[in-house]
């Protein structure tokens, strides 16, 4: 059920828990960042209010019937904590997931750091995820807060170790560029993207990613769609890097070298600062 790919946990069944389209990016790529008062109205003035609003958002967007054996049951707010309950009806699948507890935890933590969830977490809400077996009282439990997202929970130990050892932001940018160049082709919802990553390079504290349309006939994606895909990678996998001061610059080019889209990803655009 779970595989470990280049340090990232890949589990399609849990990706289905996320709302359609939302699992591709943080909310700032869907809406223009508002000013602080409007953000507080949307994501909560206090941790308790943020948790209540987050539970409402999760219940409205999560897919409940994940597959014939796995369901997302509910999200309920208790003070500043949001309890998420998943139930696995197949005892053998639960046993397999329990044996891969660390990978399950890493992947689900990573999923909960996408879309609008960090905006609620930034205001003090805490997510308490419960993955329960329907056949017994056994369960896996873990918590996710804003600090969890910044520590890159979905990446492997060598990635986190480098983050801890890097002495300059420029080192982080070089590492991020090398990592991106080694990553395999990307897709959205299982379908190939209409563009490919040509090269990632580091320029001081900035990691730049150059994307090129896949073919002469390929229709360019909208700015919103480009940001929801290309913007996803730096904001999720390099969240800690960006919070520390690194910026990411993503450019989409036509095959003749002309620019289609140009976006900059920094702490403000990734985390609504």
Coil vs helix vs strand at 158: helix
Q: Mean pLDDT highest for which of 25-34, 137-146, 152-161? A: 137-146
Look up the CATH number of the domain holding residue 168. Answer: 3.30.300.250
DSSP string across 95-150: HHHHHTHHHHHHHHHHHTTSBTHHHHHTTT-EEEEEEEETTSS-EEEEEE-HHHHH
In this structure, are 197 and 74 located in the same domain? no
pLDDT digits (tens, 9 = 90+) for 98-111: 888 877 777 667 66
Q: Could you list the residue range(s) of the whole structural domain that residue 229 is in?
A: 157-271
Round the average pLDDT of the chain to a whole number and report it: 75
Residue 194 above 60 pLDDT? yes
The proportion of the chain whose per-residue pLDDT surpasses 90, expressed as a percent, equals 29
pLDDT digits (tens, 9 = 90+) for 239-253: 778 878 899 999 999
The arithmetic mean of pLDDT across residues 145-169, rounded, is: 66
Q: How confident is the model at residue 119 (pLDDT cuts 50, 70, 90)?
A: confident
The single residue listed with the structure tokens 């982080």 is 172
In this structure, are 109 and 172 located in the same domain? no
Residue 191 above 60 pLDDT? no
pTM of the model: 0.55
In this structure, are 109 and 178 located in the same domain? no
Q: How confident is the model at residue 115 (pLDDT cuts 50, 70, 90)?
A: low
In this structure, are 18 and 134 located in the same domain? yes
In this structure, are 13 and 131 located in the same domain? yes
pLDDT of 153 reads: 42
The arithmetic mean of pLDDT across residues 183-189, rounded, is: 52
Structural domain total, the chain: 2
Return the closest-CA partner of residue 181 out of 161, 203, 208.
Answer: 208
Look up residue 185 and give its two tokens: 């082709």
Q: Among the three residues 104, 131, 150, which one is the final residue of a domain in this structure? A: 150
pLDDT of 26 reads: 35
In this structure, are 130 and 168 located in the same domain? no
């Amino acid at each position: 059920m779970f595989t470990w790919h280049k340090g990232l946990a890949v589990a399609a069944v849990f990706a289905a828990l996320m709302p359609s389209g939302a699992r591709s990016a943080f909310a700032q790529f869907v809406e223009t960042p508002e000013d602080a008062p409007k953000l507080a109205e949307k994501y909560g003035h206090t941790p308790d209010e943020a948790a209540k609003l987050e539970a409402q958002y999760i219940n409205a967007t999560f897919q409940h019937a994940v597959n014939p054996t796995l369901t997302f049951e509910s999200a309920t707010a208790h003070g500043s904590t949001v309890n998420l309950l998943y139930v696995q009806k197949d005892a053998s699948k639960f046993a397999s997931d329990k044996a891969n507890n660390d990978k399950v935890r890493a992947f689900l933590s990573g999923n909960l750091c996408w879309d609008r969830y960090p905006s609620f977490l930034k205001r003090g809400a805490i997510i308490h995820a419960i993955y329960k077996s329907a056949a017994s009282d056994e369960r896996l439990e873990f918590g996710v807060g804003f600090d969890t997202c910044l520590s890159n929970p979905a990446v492997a130990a060598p990635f986190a170790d480098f983050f801890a050892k890097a002495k300059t932001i420029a080192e982080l940018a070089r590492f991020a560029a090398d990592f991106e160049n080694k990553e395999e082709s990307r897709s959205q919802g299982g379908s190939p993207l209409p563009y490919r990553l040509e090269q990632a390079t580091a320029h001081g504290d900035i990691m730049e990613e150059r994307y090129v349309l896949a073919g002469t006939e390929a229709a360019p994606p909208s700015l919103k769609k480009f940001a929801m895909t290309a913007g996803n990678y730096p904001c999720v996998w390099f969240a800690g890097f960006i919070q520390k001061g690194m910026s990411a610059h993503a450019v989409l080019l036509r095959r003749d070298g002309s620019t289609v889209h140009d976006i900059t990803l920094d702490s403000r655009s990734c985390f609504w600062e």
